[in-house]
Each structure stands twice: as C-alpha cells, then as structure tokens.
Amino acid sequence: MAFLKIIRKNYKIFLVVLVVTGLYFIGNYISFVSVSGHAIPIAFKPLPNQIINSTTTIPDKISITFNERPESDASTIRVTDYNGTRIDNNDLKIGKSEKELTVSLNKSKIVSGDYFVTWFVLSKDDGWITKGSYSFSYISDRK
C-alpha cells in the first residue's frame, strides 16, 4: 500500500521514469535491428561442417551468397588446409547473382583433411565490413 501512495503522490515522476525506460529499451532494439543489415552470409557451398567423401564430388569453387551486394575489389575468400596452405586460386569474382562471391579451388592440392574458409566482405549497400569463417572436410577413399 505504501508503494501505491508514493506513486499517487509522485505520478508525474513515475511516468517520466517509465517513458524514459521504455525509450531506452526501444532505442536499443532499433540499434540492434539495424546492425543485422550488414552483409551477412545466407548460403554456402560447400556447407559449413560438410563432409565431402567419395560419393560427393569435390567442388570446383567455394561460393558464399550474402544478403547484400559485396564489393569484389575490397572483399576476399581464402581457403586453406590444416597447415595454412592456400588451396584456392585467389581469383575472387562475383557469382551468378550480384550477392554471390566465388573463388575456384586448386583440386590438385586437395587431399583428405579439414579445410578452412575465411571471408572478409565490404558491402556495396551500406559500406560496412563483415568477416567470418567456417570449415568443411574431405575424406578420400584412395589409399
């Protein structure tokens, strides 16, 4: 009861605090939503954590599709093996859609093991830079 008496006496202050708190949370939500607009991958080939074996052919290229258009001159996709040796041909280009980046693989360097894809992208749409990585594995039946 005492709490209600305090609120009734100071209801204007209570309303101001309530409005400011609400605006604070709304402002944080809006800023969080706008951050998610940067160039974010929406499709990968091969898939993250995919295991490629004899029933699946080794891909000719790595492709990543983003939700925004990447600037190919300022972006990279790098594919390395477990030792850090680069196995892509360093020939990044725009793929079938203007939101897809691809890099071809040097298949002669691919042996059984884990491979790491790292990407760095400058968005043409909002000018923000994003980066990330994932891995996939190849298991050969050849002995």
What's the pTM? 0.71
Residue 23 has a pLDDT of: 59
Q: How does the average pLDDT of the chain come out, rounded?
A: 84
Shortest CA distance to 141 belongs to which of 52, 49, 61, 71?
52
User: CB neighbours (10 Å) of residue 70?
Assistant: 28
Q: Tell me the domain boundaries of the chain.
A: 2-35, 41-138
For residue 43, list its beta bridge partners: 65
With 70 as the cut, is the pLDDT of residue 82 above it? yes
Does domain 41-138 fall under CATH 3.30.420.10? My reply is no
With 70 as the cut, is the pLDDT of residue 143 above it? no
Residue 7 has a pLDDT of: 62
Identify whether the C-beta of residue 25 lies closer than 8 Å to the C-beta of residue 31. Answer: no
More confident residue, 143 or 117: 117
Q: What are phi and psi of 41, to 5 degrees?
A: -65, 135
* SS3 per-residue string spanning the chain: CHHHHHHHHCHHHHHHHHHHHHHHHHHHHHHHHHHCCCCCEEEEECCCCCEECCCCCCCCEEEEEECCCECHHHCEEEEEECCCCECECCCCEECCCCCEEEEEECHHHCCCEEEEEEEEEEECCCCCEEEEEEEEEECCCCC
| 55: confidence class by pLDDT, cuts 50, 70, 90 | low
With 90 as the cut, is the pLDDT of residue 19 above it? no
More confident residue, 32 or 138: 138
Residue 31 has a pLDDT of: 44
Q: What is the mean pLDDT of residues 120-142?
A: 92
Q: What is the mean pLDDT of residues 63-78?
A: 96
